[in-house]
Amino acid sequence: MLLPYMEQGNVYSTLAYTGQTPAAAREGWGTWSLSVQDPGMGALSSGGKGGSLRDFTDGTSNAILVGEVCARTALYRKGRLIPTSDPVAAAQAIVGSGMWADLFKGDTRVSGVLFDGTGTDGPCAINCANSRTAGLYSWHTGGAHIALADGSARFISENVSAYILASLITKAGGEVIGEF
Amino acid identity of 50?
Answer: G
Rounded to whole angstroms, what are the CA distances from 172 to 59, 99, 140? 8, 28, 29
Phi-psi region of 60 (alpha: psi -120 to 50; beta: other; left: phi over 0): alpha
72-105 per-position pLDDT tens digit:
889 999 999 999 999 999 988 887 665 444 555 5
- What average pLDDT does the structure give for the chain? 74
- Rounded Cα distance between 175 and 61, Å, is 13
Q: Which long-range contacts (CB under 8 A, 24 or more apart) does 17-23 make?
A: none
Amino acid identity of 92?
Answer: Q
DSSP SS3 for 129: strand
pTM of the model: 0.68
119-172 per-position pLDDT tens digit:
988 899 999 998 878 889 999 999 999 989 898 999 999 999 888 888 898 888
So where are the chain's domains? Answer: 1-29, 48-168
In 3D, which of 162, 142, 173, 180 has the Cα closest to residue 58?
A: 173
Rounded to whole angstroms, what are the CA distances from 13 to 4, 65, 108? 9, 24, 26
